[in-house]
Amino acid sequence: MILKSISNSGLEVIKCQEVRLNRQQAEQLYAIHMGKFFYERLIRHVTSGPIIAMILSSKNGDAIKCWRNLLGPSKIFKGLLHSEDPNYTLREKFALSDARNVAHGSDSEIEFQREVRVFESLFEVENTG
């Protein structure tokens, strides 16, 4: 369902692999949220089991914007209450809570460059083992 939504939105999957984040990697990924009330729940969730790490691309060069539109707001209940679109976002369809919200998406090119370094090392480790 999620991969079909990605494809239908015009995004292309460049890399996709099941990986596991340890606490240090999760803290690197979510460093921007350190000190926020949901930080520990987020870290526990993302390290609780395997995740699917993906790098996406778009023909228009707007992959970040396109992915974030597909994801929808991280505050899922607010999104559900105020959504006028009958086609729910991925978070509205699949999230369990704001912290366990089905997927992550970089919010800028700068954040993408920082965050992708966490996953690049995981892709390399997984591919050599």
- Residues annotated catalytic, as ranges: 104
Instruction: Report how far apart, in Å, the C-alpha atoms of 125 and of each of 17, 18, 26, 61, 117 are.
Output: 11, 12, 16, 28, 13
Burial class (CB in 10 A: 0-12, 13-18, 19+), 97: exposed
58-91 burial by CB neighbour count: b if 16+ within 10 A, else e?
A: eeeeebbebbbebbbbbebeebbeeeeeeeebbb
Instruction: Give the separation between CA 84 and CA 120, rounded to whole angstroms.
Output: 38
